[in-house]
């Protein structure tokens, strides 16, 4: 029965595409490497309305291989950022707007409960099978709502406490309906979260699912030597980079990643559905090749040697910049700028919901936190540890963000021991013990540990200096360098005094507000308040200001109007400035990436984040290689 439907769809598609051929005005061109292959003509491979993308600089030439370095055999995040991330919608280069991608357009109901996406008629998977709305409903039925694969639905599909529904109105129209407004749905779809919808080729994936292949699934699991069909599903279908399979990405995997992979290669997708303004089918580059290095230094050496064409991940650390600069001419590359979404090199989060009531009282005292902040010589930290790159900054949106809030960013960043002592005195801890350390409300010395993970070398160095500054004002804090998983263990059990982490949410302010109010498990300053927000039984009712912020954020999620969202976010940030939850150190300077001199159409600057998975929004499919470096 199913086969017949597929067959019917196919026939209809074929007929429509043939009948439309006469009406084609645009002449499409393909890469020379496809000429010798046994493929239908390029116009038939493209959808009726391919996505026309302006190249960044100029129309390119076909050919070449894009070389990159993979860290370890398993580096899915790099692959998503460069080869993948073809969701229904995507970010524009500036990260200010959601723009069409797989969906040629969409309609959202004003209350944000219904979203209808219009797909591209005639669009195909890399094996030539049609890509339709039924592939997206397949994701919903087989993957997102299957209790064995997805014990919890993805949080961006949940609104009003229940998962939204997805239905195919016809082959090229798909509608999402939510019980309550889901105001951030489009933005969420533009992040890497959203691309799972468009990488479940139904015709291929059905065989790995017991609901669709009840008779054959056991044999397949057995054959792969795996324990359960869920393992097989993740290996064959949901893990995008493990095994080659039909895709809508610009390049198709030839060999996937894995424990023993030393190289990942991909070749152009002859059915890619984007063209340049002259009708040349993207991508310009024929092959992508990523060679694995177990160690970052190996990748750095390769990049210095000119063996990496364009990359920033892993290699472009602050401390490597000088080496890359010195070697620019010999290596035949130059820099592009990556503006990090991170707004702080290091954030110290005292645990405001500490399990010990005495510590809790001390940490919740705002004057205490202000005193600690004034006691830190941020400029010295920047000069000594951060090689002079940065400016004193609290946990606040970056200056280039529309949410920039000067009070939040700059308050208490001055280095002033006198003011620090004044605030600590005002906090009520004027008594000192024999060694000059302040005494807490219970008459014992105020002493606490600051947890930091072993791999953040800068953090360890800065923390050593900071505990020194705090000793000057009579506070006995100690660094506790531990493994990352132990750090998370302690956090989950609410055992930490204070934790060091990076400053996410400098540009992706609305999507990642972890430092502005107790929002997620990464809001290290108040584990119990965020449990409360998420309805977890371990939670405790937060103070009024935090509750107000949570309330505002719920309102924000319930509206689809970007202006109203912005107004609400501003209000949340104002409250964050009043509350001063965490202590920031320095605004990270722009990062960089390297690009070979014969590698073109790479923007001079782009944001860098996980939610904006750079360089993917800069459209790697329009990069091209011409001449020698």
Q: Is 292 in the site for other proteins (CB under 8 A)?
A: yes
Which pair of tokens denotes residue 133? Answer: 């709305």
What are the strands, taking DSSP E only, across 47-202?
51-52, 65-71, 89-91, 98-100, 105-108, 114-118, 158-159, 162-163, 165-170, 173-177
**Kind of pairing between the strands at 624-625 and 391-392:** unpaired
Distance set, CA 39 to CA 35, 123, 126, 243, 613 (Å): 8, 15, 12, 23, 32
268-296 per-residue burial string, b: 16 or more CB within 10 A, e: under 16: bbbbbbbbbeebbbbbbbbbbbbbbbeee
How many of the chain's residues bind other proteins (CB under 8 A)? 56
Distance set, CA 293 to CA 303, 392, 526 (Å): 12, 36, 39
Site string for other proteins, 147-166 (x = CB under 8 A): ---xxx--x-----------
Q: Is 522 in the site for other proteins (CB under 8 A)?
A: yes
Site for other proteins in 549-608 (CB under 8 A): none
What dihedral do alpha carbons 328, 331, 333, 339 form, nearest 10°? -70
310, 609, 618, 625: which one binds other proteins (CB under 8 A) = 609
Q: Which stretch, 27-35, 66-74, 469-477, 589-597, contacts other proteins (CB under 8 A)?
A: 66-74
User: For other proteins, which is the closer residue by CB, 335 or 610?
Assistant: 610
Length of the chain as a residue count: 629
Site for other proteins in 470-499 (CB under 8 A): 483-489, 492
Helix, strand, coil percentages (3-state) for the chain, rounded to 5, are: 35, 20, 45
Q: Is 197 in the site for other proteins (CB under 8 A)?
A: no
Distance from the first to the final alpha carbon of the chain: 56
Report whether 525 contacts 582 (CB < 8 A).
yes
User: For other proteins, which is the closer residue by CB, 227 or 434?
Assistant: 227
Is the preceding peptide bond at 548 cis, omega within 30 degrees of 0? no
In whole angstroms, the minimum distance from the beta carbon of 441 to other proteins comes to 32
520, 578, 590, 626: which one binds other proteins (CB under 8 A) = 520
In whole angstroms, the minimum distance from the beta carbon of 376 to other proteins comes to 24
Which pair of tokens denotes residue 388? Answer: 């002079």
145, 165, 289, 467: which one binds other proteins (CB under 8 A) = 289
Site string for other proteins, 238-277 (x = CB under 8 A): -x--x-----------xx--xxx-xx-x------------
In whole angstroms, the minimum distance from the beta carbon of 228 to other proteins comes to 7
Most distant CA pair in the chain, distance: 93
240, 276, 512, 579: which one binds other proteins (CB under 8 A) = 512
Q: Is 361 in the site for other proteins (CB under 8 A)?
A: no
Q: Which stretch, 277-285, 300-308, 365-373, 581-589, contacts other proteins (CB under 8 A)?
A: 300-308
Report whether 313 contacts 80 (CB < 8 A).
no
Q: Which stretch, 108-116, 146-154, 244-252, 589-597, contacts other proteins (CB under 8 A)?
A: 146-154
- Residue 41 Cα to chain centre, angstroms: 37
Q: Is 293 in the site for other proteins (CB under 8 A)?
A: yes
Where on the chain is the footprint of other proteins (CB under 8 A)?
Answer: 67, 72, 74, 77, 150-152, 155, 225-228, 230-231, 234-235, 239, 242, 254-255, 258-260, 262-263, 265, 289, 291-295, 297-298, 301-302, 304-305, 307, 483-489, 492, 504, 512, 520-522, 536, 609-611
């Amino acid at each position: 029965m199913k086969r017949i439907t597929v067959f019917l769809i196919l026939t209809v598609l074929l007929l429509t595409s043939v009948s439309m051929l006469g009406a084609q005005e645009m002449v499409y061109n393909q890469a020379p490497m496809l000429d010798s292959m046994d493929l239908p003509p390029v116009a038939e491979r493209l959808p009726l309305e391919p996505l026309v993308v302006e190249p960044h600089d100029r129309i390119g030439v076909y050919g070449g291989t894009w070389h990159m370095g993979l860290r370890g055999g398993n580096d899915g995040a790099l692959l998503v950022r460069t080869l993948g991330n073809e969701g229904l919608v995507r970010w524009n280069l500036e990260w200010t707007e959601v723009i069409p991608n797989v969906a040629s357009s969409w309609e959202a109901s004003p209350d944000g409960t219904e979203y209808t996406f219009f797909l591209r008629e005639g669009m195909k998977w890399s094996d030539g099978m049609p890509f339709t709305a039924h592939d997206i409903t397949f994701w919903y039925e087989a993957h997102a709502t299957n209790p064995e694969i997805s014990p919890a639905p993805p949080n961006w599909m949940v609104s009003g406490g229940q998962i939204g529904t997805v239905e195919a109105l016809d082959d090229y129209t798909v509608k999402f309906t939510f019980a309550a407004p889901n105001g951030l749905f489009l933005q969420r779809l533009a992040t890497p979260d959203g691309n799972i919808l468009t990488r479940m080729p139904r015709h291929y994936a059905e065989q790995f699912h017991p609901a669709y292949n009840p008779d054959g699934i056991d044999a397949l699991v057995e054959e792969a030597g795996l324990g359960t069909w869920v393992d097989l599903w993740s290996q064959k279908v949901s893990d995008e980079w493990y095994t080659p399979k039909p895709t809508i990405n610009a390049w198709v995997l030839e060999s996937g990643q894995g424990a023993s992979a030393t190289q990942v290669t991909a070749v152009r997708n002859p059915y890619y559905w984007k063209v340049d303004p002259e009708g040349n089918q993207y991508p310009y580059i024929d092959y992508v090749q990523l060679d694995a290095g177990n160690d970052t230094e190996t990748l750095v050496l390769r990049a210095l040697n000119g063996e990496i064409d364009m990359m920033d991940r892993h290699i472009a650390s602050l401390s490597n910049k000088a080496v890359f600069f010195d070697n620019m001419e010999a290596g035949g590359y130059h820099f592009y700028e990556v503006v990090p979404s991170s707004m702080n090199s290091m954030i110290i989060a005292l645990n405001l919901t500490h399990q010990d009531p005495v510590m809790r009282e001390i940490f919740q005292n705002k004057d205490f936190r202000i005193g600690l902040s004034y006691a830190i010589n941020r400029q010295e930290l920047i000069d000594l540890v951060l090689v002079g790159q940065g400016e004193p900054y609290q946990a606040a949106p970056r200056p280039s963000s529309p949410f920039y809030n000067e009070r939040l960013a700059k308050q208490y960043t001055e280095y002033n021991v006198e003011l620090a002592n004044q605030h600590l005195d005002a906090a009520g801890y004027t008594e000192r013990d024999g060694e000059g350390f302040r005494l807490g409300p219970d008459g014992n010395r105020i002493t606490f540990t600051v947890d930091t993970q072993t791999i953040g070398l800068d953090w360890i160095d800065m923390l050593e200096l900071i505990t020194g500054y705090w000793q000057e004002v009579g506070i006995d804090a100690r660094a506790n360098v531990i493994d990352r998983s132990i750090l998370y263990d302690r956090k989950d059990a609410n055992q930490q005094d204070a934790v060091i982490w990076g400053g996410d949410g400098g540009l992706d302010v609305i999507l990642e507000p972890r430092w502005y109010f107790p929002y997620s498990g990464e809001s290290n300053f108040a584990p119990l308040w965020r449990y409360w927000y998420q309805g977890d039984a371990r939670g405790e009712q937060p103070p009024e200001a935090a509750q107000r912020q949570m309330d505002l954020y719920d309102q924000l999620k319930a509206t689809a109007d970007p202006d109203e969202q912005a107004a609400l976010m501003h209000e949340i940030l104002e409250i964050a400035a009043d509350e001063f939850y965490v202590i920031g150190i320095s605004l990270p300077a722009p990062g960089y990436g390297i690009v070979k001199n014969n590698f073109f159409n790479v923007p001079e600057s782009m944001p860098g984040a996980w939610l904006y998975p750079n360089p993917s929004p800069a459209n790697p499919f329009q990069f091209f290689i011409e001449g020698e470096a």
